[in-house]
Amino acid sequence: MKKFSNKQKLITILVIAAIAVILQFAFHQQLLAQILVTIVGAIVAFSMFIGMIKTLRSGKYGVDLLAILAVVATLSVSEYWAAMVILVMLTGGDALEDYAAKKANTELKALLDNSPHTAHLICNNETKDIPVNDVKVNDLITVKPGELVPVDGFIKKGSGLFDESSLTGESRPVSKATGDEVMSGSVNGDHAITLQVTKLAKDSQYQQLVKLVKEAESTPAHFVRLADRYAVPFTIIAIIISLVAWALSGRPERFAEVLVIASPCPLILAAPVAMVSGMSRASRNGIVVKTGSVLEKLAAAKTGAFDKTGTITSGQLTVDKILAAEQIDPTQLLHYAASAEQQSSHILARSLLSYATADNISLSPVDQLEEITGKGIVATVDGHDVKVGKLKFVSPKNIDRMVASTAIYISVDGQYYGAITFTDHIRPEAKQTMQRLKELGVTNLLMLTGDQAVIADKVAQQVGITQVKADLLPQDKIEALKAIPTTEHPVFMVGDGVNDAPSLVTADVGIAMGAHGSTAASESAAVVILKDDLSRVAKAVTISQETLKIAKQAVLIGIAICTILMLIASTGIIPAFLGAMLQEVIDTVSILWALKARKMTN
């Protein structure tokens, strides 16, 4: 049986209410109207009771008890119109939450609405439209002016400006020319281009972001548990006030009148609406947050761990030296290394390819490629087995050849060919980001890197990180995160590469630098920074803290107003029907306050 939506439930209750009004005031059938409202109220109360039992069995506690008591109490004292108002309030509140969540989630849904569906495949000098999922690696496709790029690739022919705002949050168009990489989801400018596909649709940048958005939409915000914690003392206070009012007055109506005011809709609505609003605000800042609980953890974060290469460094490494082994031609060394790395998204690979292109080094296609996490890659180039990566992985017998700088090492068919060193550039915003995080309460900052200690220490000192753990494999990073004392949690980890993916899962919150980062890192992370800007990490923490502050305020405002009105209702001044109407005002105030989390200055 198809489950009714909250909007459908509201319409059903309103129709029944209209029928009851007609029965009583048009046909003077008060008894029939009361019976109809009583039956509907009993059904709704029973369904809520079943839901509450299921919640308790799952080890949680909900906020349904007050609503159930309010419906039952009003029906028991024949205040059936007040009961009907409560039913409208409950279903209307749920429908309003859906609307508020939809309104707050506009930016996230934009990615889904604009997802590319077709591609213009070039085949035998003709162009035909095919589903984007049928596009294969190395296919040639045409992207027309004004169209979304359907898959990742590099420009084979043409040039132009590309709008990457939906991916990175950067509104300024980016100039691309022949040989440049183009991300799916970018909007082509005024000229048609020919694109050679480098990734399948399911692996391309835009589809990965769509997947993240779907996860963000489908995963419930666990922060509602905060409202549940507030609901426990609130429920006790409401029941005490209602019982005292009944005992002092001797009238059971007082019990119903107080409980009508105490209906917990502000608790049910305020927190999740604020969470979705905060996630929407983060999205506008180029930050995809997968769940509302992530905001809660980030707001309380005490420790921040960072990878070095591609995270604290800017992503603009340049080749420094070509250190070829004896009797090895440096050009051949560069040819094999760049050819093997041409399909990698790692920062060193991108820098190497840029250098090779500028030096007019011809590249050969890769027949087979395997990435060994934390060590390097194995590729078949021109029929030769090429290894690129750490020296211990590439050529263990030549360990004495290790250089004291950022470098990759190369071997061909088991023969050591040499090393290529790089000059690292620290992100200009890195030092300020660390300072800002300390101001936000993230006082424990550390670097976890697979690079050499001498290099890592130098970078850490320049940006203000005092704790450094270097020469780490992915498993070592996991152990380092697990060793952080409980008092220093929650912990977030920031990284960008495949080797960071396990650590991002291990941390309380994994943050991926996703503008150029690997698919594995983005999938493993709870937060993805779409713009290549480390300061967005501090921005994510700021948004989280401000969202949590507003969520708590919205909940407490609702509780405060309810408590004041309950005390007034206990004197008999507020009839049950009026009290039910006032509850709608409380709901509106709480929701409007929670929506401030979306509209705050970015």
**Distances in Å between the alpha carbon of 263 and those of 69, 537, 584?**
9, 39, 10
Contacts of 115 (CB under 8 A, 6+ apart): 206, 207, 210
Backbone angles phi, psi at 438, to 5 degrees: -65, -40
**How would you label 294-318 residue by residue, b for 16+ Cβ within 10 Å and e otherwise?**
bbbbbbbbbbbbbbbbbbbbbbebe
The radius of gyration of the chain from alpha carbons, rounded to an integer in Å, stands at 30
Is there a contact between 141 and 120 (Cβ–Cβ < 8 Å)? yes
* Cα separation, 531 vs 441, whole angstroms: 24
H helix and E strand count, the chain? 22, 22
Q: What share of the chain is helix, strand, coil (3-state, %, to 5)?
A: 55, 20, 30
* Cα separation, 253 vs 575, whole angstroms: 9
Backbone angles phi, psi at 544, to 5 degrees: -60, -45
Alpha helices, DSSP H, located in 307-372: 330-341, 347-358
Which helix (H) or strand (E) segment is 320 a member of?
A: strand 318-324
* Residue located via tokens 């709704």: 44
Backbone angles phi, psi at 121, to 5 degrees: -80, 135
Backbone angles phi, psi at 469, to 5 degrees: -125, 115
Is there a catalytic annotation at residue 307?
A: yes
Alpha helices, DSSP H, located in 464-534: 474-482, 501-506, 519-524
* Residue located via tokens 């296609």: 365
Is there a contact between 271 and 551 (Cβ–Cβ < 8 Å)? yes
User: Residue 266: which of 234, 296, 291 has the closest Cα?
Assistant: 234
Contacts of 497 (CB under 8 A, 6+ apart): 307, 309, 310, 346, 347, 517, 518, 521
* Cα separation, 520 vs 310, whole angstroms: 15
DSSP SS3 for 126? strand
In 158-308, the DSSP E strands lie at 160-163, 174-176, 181-182, 187-188, 193-197, 287-289, 303-306
Is there a contact between 565 and 67 (Cβ–Cβ < 8 Å)? no
Beta-bridge partners for 193: 143
| DSSP secondary structure code for residue 421 in this structure | E
User: Residue 265: which of 48, 79, 53 has the closest Cα?
Assistant: 48
Is there a contact between 247 and 565 (Cβ–Cβ < 8 Å)? no
Of 152, 307, 532, 587, the active-site residue reads 307
Give 400-428 as a 3 state SS string: HHCCCCCEEEEEECCEEEEEEEEECCECC
Catalytic residues: 307
